[in-house]
C-alpha cells in the first residue's frame, strides 16, 4: 500500500458511481432511530422522523455543494517535453531519433481564491506543465499561468485572465474536529464538479513523506485521481483544506485521503501572490531528537524535547547565544517534542518575526527572543558563504558515525574538512578534503559552530592560526595565514 497523488491522466475513463452521499443519509437515519431500530420494526412515525433528519442533512449537502461550485475549477495540464518513442526488438527499448510521443496530459482541480483570477491548486498538479487550461463550472475554458509554487507544502497558485470570479470562503482548519461532516469537490477521473461526503477521520497527520511541512486533515470522503487541488468543505460552506493525496493499494479511494489545512493554504498562497515564492522564517540551527540515553548524558530529566546539534554562523540562533547541546523545550510558546514540531513552528512564521525560545542548558531553563530571517533558498550555498566569510577558504562539517568508520578515525572530536577553496589560505597551508581538524590554537574542536567562532576571532585579530590536523591516522600541526593568497 502506498500514497497516490490525486491528479488523473487524460483521456478520461468513467468509474463506478459514488455511494458516499447515500451512506451518509442512511447513517443519519440509523443514528436518529437509535436503539428503537434494533429492538423493533420502525413504525410510520419513527420512519418519518428519521427521514426528516436525513432530508435535513441531504439539504445541507445540497446547499454546500451549490455554494462552492462556482469556486471550483477543473485543471488540464500539458507537458510538451520531447519524449522519444521507444523501438527495437527482443523486449528491448531504444530511442528512435526524431520520433516523438504525443504530449503528456493530466487533469486535476483548483479553487478560486481571488475574484481577479487567482486559483490555488497542488504543486504536483502544475509541476513541469507547459500549458494549463482551466474550466469553470459553467463550461468556460481559459488558459492559466503559474504565479508561484511551493514544493515544501505541495501548493501552487495560478492566474487566469478573468474578472468577477467567485472566490471560495475559507474557514479555520484549526477548529476542525474529528467526526465532523465534510464534502470533497473535484474532478476525479475527469468528472467535473463531483461531490463526495464523509467525515474528518483525523487531524494533524505528519511524517507521511508527502511534503516538508505536513499537518494533514485525514478524511474518509471518496477522493480519487483528479481530486488533487480540490476543496475539502465543512457544512458551513467553508474550505478547510485542499485535497492532495490518498493512501491506496489500487490507485483508487480506500477511504484514506489527505488535505492540506486551510491555515497553511492561506499563508502559502498569500506569500506566493505577494512575492512569487514562500518567505519562511529561519533560526539557523540543526537539531536532533532527544532520546533517554542522550538526555542522561546532559543530566536532563524533563519530557520530550529537541537537542541543538549545530548553530550556523551569522544567524539569529548565533545572535541570541544558542550553542550545541542546548535542549529546546518550546518555541513560540509551542512544545517541541521532536524536530518536526520545531521546523513546523518556525516555518509558519514570516521573516523578521520575533519568536520566543525556551531551552535548558546545564540544568538551567532559559528563555530568549530571536528575530527570524528568511530561510535561504539554497542552504548549501548559504553555508558555503558563511564558511568563506572566515577568509581562509575552508568548508567543514560535523563528524558523523559513518566518517569514523570510513576514515578509521580514533574519535569524533573535531570537524571534517569537506571543501578547500583553490589558492585560498587553507589551500596554501596544505589542508585537504578529508582532513580532521582536532584543535585550533590549542582549543579542542567539538562543533562547526565552535570552529567558526575561533576562526573568526583569529582572523579579526590578524593572527596566524595553528591547527592540529589528523590525516590518514597521523596528526600534524599546520599553520594557516588568513592574509595569505
Same domain, 433 and 476: yes
pLDDT at 356: 95
- Asked if the structure places residue 113 within a domain, the reply is yes
User: What does the radius of gyration of the chain's CA atoms come to, in whole angstroms?
Assistant: 29
Residue 375 predicted with pLDDT over 90? no
Q: Which residue has the higher pLDDT, 26 or 283?
A: 283
Query: 119, 111 in Cβ contact below 8 A?
Result: yes
Cis peptide before 100 (omega within 30 of 0): no
Same domain, 296 and 442: no
Those residues whose C-beta lies under 8 Å from the C-beta of residue 22, and which sit 6 or more positions away, are none
Residue 73: pLDDT band by 50, 70, 90 thresholds? very high
Coil, helix or strand at residue 424: coil
Q: Which residue has the higher pLDDT, 341 or 15?
A: 341
pLDDT at 484: 65
Same domain, 347 and 262: no
Same domain, 178 and 250: yes
The per-residue pLDDT for range 385-414, each reduced to its tens digit, is 554 345 687 888 888 877 788 788 878 889
pLDDT at 386: 52
C-alpha cell at 327: 535542549
Coil, helix or strand at residue 454: helix
- Asked if the structure places residue 88 within a domain, the reply is no
DSSP H stretches of helix in 227-362 = 262-275, 292-297, 316-319, 339-347
Residue 4 predicted with pLDDT over 80? no
The per-residue pLDDT for range 178-213, each reduced to its tens digit, is 999 999 999 988 888 899 999 999 998 887 777 777
Same domain, 109 and 207: yes
Our CA dihedral for 266, 271, 277, 282, rounded to 10 degrees, sits at: -100
Query: 445, 434 in Cβ contact below 8 A?
Result: no
Which residue from 297, 306, 294, 313 is spatially nearest to 360, judged by alpha carbons?
Answer: 306
Report, as an integer, the average pLDDT of 117-132. 93
Calpha distance 121→115 (Å, rounded): 16
Coil, helix or strand at residue 34: coil
Query: 272, 145 in Cβ contact below 8 A?
Result: no
Residue 253: pLDDT band by 50, 70, 90 thresholds? low
Same domain, 345 and 418: no
Calpha distance 107→118 (Å, rounded): 18
pLDDT at 391: 60
Report, as an integer, the average pLDDT of 474-479. 90
Same domain, 212 and 133: yes
Query: 390, 420 in Cβ contact below 8 A?
Result: no
Calpha distance 371→392 (Å, rounded): 29
| Sign of the alpha-carbon torsion through 390, 392, 395, 398 | negative
- Asked if the structure places residue 86 within a domain, the reply is no
- Asked if the structure places residue 236 within a domain, the reply is yes
Same domain, 204 and 250: yes
The per-residue pLDDT for range 311-340, each reduced to its tens digit, is 888 889 999 999 888 999 999 998 988 888
Secondary structure (DSSP) of 81-113? --PEEEE-STT--EEEEEEEPPPEEEEEEEEEE
Which residue from 96, 76, 78, 74 is spatially nearest to 87, judged by alpha carbons?
Answer: 96
The domain that contains 144 carries what CATH number?
A: 2.40.10.120
Q: How far apart are the first and last CA of the chain?
A: 58
Query: Using a CB cutoff of 8 Å and minimum separation of 24, what contacts does 268-274 make?
Result: 268/150, 268/153, 268/155, 269/113, 269/118, 269/120, 269/155, 269/157, 271/350, 272/147, 272/148, 272/149, 272/150, 272/155, 272/156, 272/157, 273/114, 273/118, 273/147, 273/148, 273/157
- Asked if the structure places residue 357 within a domain, the reply is yes
Same domain, 271 and 287: no
- Asked if the structure places residue 87 within a domain, the reply is no
Query: 233, 185 in Cβ contact below 8 A?
Result: yes
The domain that contains 291 carries what CATH number?
A: 2.30.42.10
Of 167-176, 303-312, 406-415, which has the strongest mean pLDDT? 167-176
Same domain, 259 and 162: yes
pTM above 0.85, yes or no: no
Calpha distance 128→118 (Å, rounded): 19
Residue 293 predicted with pLDDT over 50? yes
Parent domain of 318: 281-374
pLDDT at 9: 47
- Where does a domain end: 278, 293, 317? 278
Place of cell 485521503: 257
- Asked if the structure places residue 89 within a domain, the reply is no
In total, how many domains does the chain have? 3
Place of cell 474550505: 239
- Where does a domain end: 374, 397, 430? 374
Residue 43: pLDDT band by 50, 70, 90 thresholds? confident
C-alpha cell at 410: 580514533
Report, as an integer, the average pLDDT of 107-118. 95
For residues 142-155, b (16+ Cβ closer than 10 Å) or e, as one string?
A: eebebbbbbebbbb
DSSP H stretches of helix in 158-301 = 262-275, 292-297
Query: 107, 190 in Cβ contact below 8 A?
Result: yes
- Asked if the structure places residue 320 within a domain, the reply is yes
Same domain, 229 and 149: yes
Query: 336, 330 in Cβ contact below 8 A?
Result: yes
Catalytic residues: 124, 154, 228
Calpha distance 392→421 (Å, rounded): 8
Same domain, 272 and 402: no
- Where does a domain end: 251, 278, 305? 278
Q: Which residue has the higher pLDDT, 311 or 371?
A: 371
Amino acid at each position: 500500500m502506498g500514497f497516490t497523488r490525486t491528479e488523473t491522466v487524460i483521456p478520461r475513463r468513467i468509474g463506478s458511481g459514488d455511494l458516499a452521499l447515500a451512506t451518509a443519509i442512511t447513517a443519519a437515519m440509523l443514528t436518529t432511530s437509535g436503539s428503537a431500530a434494533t429492538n423493533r420494526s420502525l413504525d410510520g412515525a419513527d420512519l418519518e422522523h428519521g427521514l426528516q433528519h436525513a432530508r435535513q442533512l441531504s439539504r445541507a449537502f445540497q446547499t454546500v455543494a451549490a455554494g462552492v461550485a462556482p469556486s471550483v475549477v477543473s485543471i488540464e495540464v500539458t507537458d510538451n517535453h520531447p519524449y522519444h518513442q521507444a523501438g527495437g526488438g527482443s523486449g528491448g527499448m531504444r530511442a528512435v531519433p526524431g520520433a516523438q510521443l504525443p504530449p503528456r496530459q493530466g487533469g486535476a482541480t483548483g479553487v478560486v481564491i481571488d475574484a481577479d483570477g487567482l486559483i490555488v491548486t497542488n504543486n504536483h498538479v502544475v509541476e513541469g506543465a507547459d500549458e494549463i487550461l482551466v474550466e469553470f463550472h459553467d463550461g468556460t475554458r481559459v488558459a492559466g499561468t503559474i504565479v508561484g509554487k511551493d514544493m515544501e507544502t505541495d501548493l501552487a497558485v495560478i492566474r487566469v485572465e478573468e474578472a468577477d470570479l467567485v472566490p471560495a470562503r475559507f474557514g479555520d482548519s484549526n477548529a476542525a474536529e474529528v467526526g465532523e461532516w465534510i464534502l470533497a469537490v473535484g474532478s476525479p477521473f475527469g468528472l467535473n464538479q463531483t461531490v463526495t461526503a464523509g467525515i474528518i477521520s483525523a487531524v494533524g497527520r505528519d511524517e507521511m513523506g508527502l511534503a516538508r511541512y505536513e499537518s494533514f486533515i485525514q478524511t474518509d470522503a471518496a477522493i480519487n485521481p483528479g481530486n488533487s487541488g480540490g476543496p475539502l468543505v465543512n457544512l458551513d460552506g467553508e474550505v478547510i483544506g485542499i485535497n492532495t493525496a490518498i493512501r491506496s493499494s489500487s490507485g483508487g479511494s480506500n477511504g484514506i485521503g489527505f488535505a492540506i489545512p486551510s491555515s497553511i493554504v492561506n499563508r502559502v498562497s498569500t506569500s506566493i501572490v505577494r512575492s512569487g515564492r514562500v518567505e519562511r522564517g529561519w533560526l539557523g540551527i540543526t537539531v536532533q531528537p532527544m532520546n533517554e540515553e542522550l538526555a542522561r548524558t546532559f543530566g536532563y530529566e524533563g519530557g520530550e524535547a529537541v537537542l541543538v546539534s549545530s548553530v550556523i554562523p551569522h544567524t539569529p540562533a548565533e545572535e541570541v547565544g544558542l550553542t550545541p547541546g542546548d535542549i529546546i523545550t518550546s518555541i513560540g510558546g509551542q512544545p517541541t517534542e521532536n524536530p518536526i514540531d520545531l521546523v513546523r513552528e518556525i516555518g509558519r512564521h514570516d521573516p523578521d518575526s520575533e519568536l520566543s525560545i525556551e531551552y535548558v542548558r546545564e540544568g538551567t531553563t532559559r528563555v530568549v527572543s530571536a528575530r527570524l530571517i528568511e530561510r535561504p533558498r539554497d542552504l548549501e550555498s548559504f553555508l558555503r558563504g558563511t564558511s568563506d566569510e572566515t577568509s581562509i577558504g575552508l568548508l567543514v562539517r560535523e563528524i558523523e558515525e559513518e566518517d569514523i568508520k570510513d576514515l578509521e578515525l580514533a574519535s569524533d572530536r573535531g570537524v571534517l574538512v569537506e571543501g578547500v577553496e583553490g589558492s585560498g589560505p587553507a589551500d596554501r597551508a596544505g589542508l585537504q578534503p578529508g582532513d580532521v581538524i582536532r584543535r585550533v590554537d590549542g582549543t579542542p574542536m567539538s562543533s562547526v559552530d565552535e570552529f567558526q567562532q575561533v576562526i573568526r576571532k583569529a582572523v579579526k585579530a590578524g593572527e596566524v592560526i595553528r591547527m592540529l590536523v589528523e590525516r590518514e591516522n597521523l596528526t600534524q600541526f599546520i599553520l594557516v595565514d588568513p592574509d595569505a593568497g
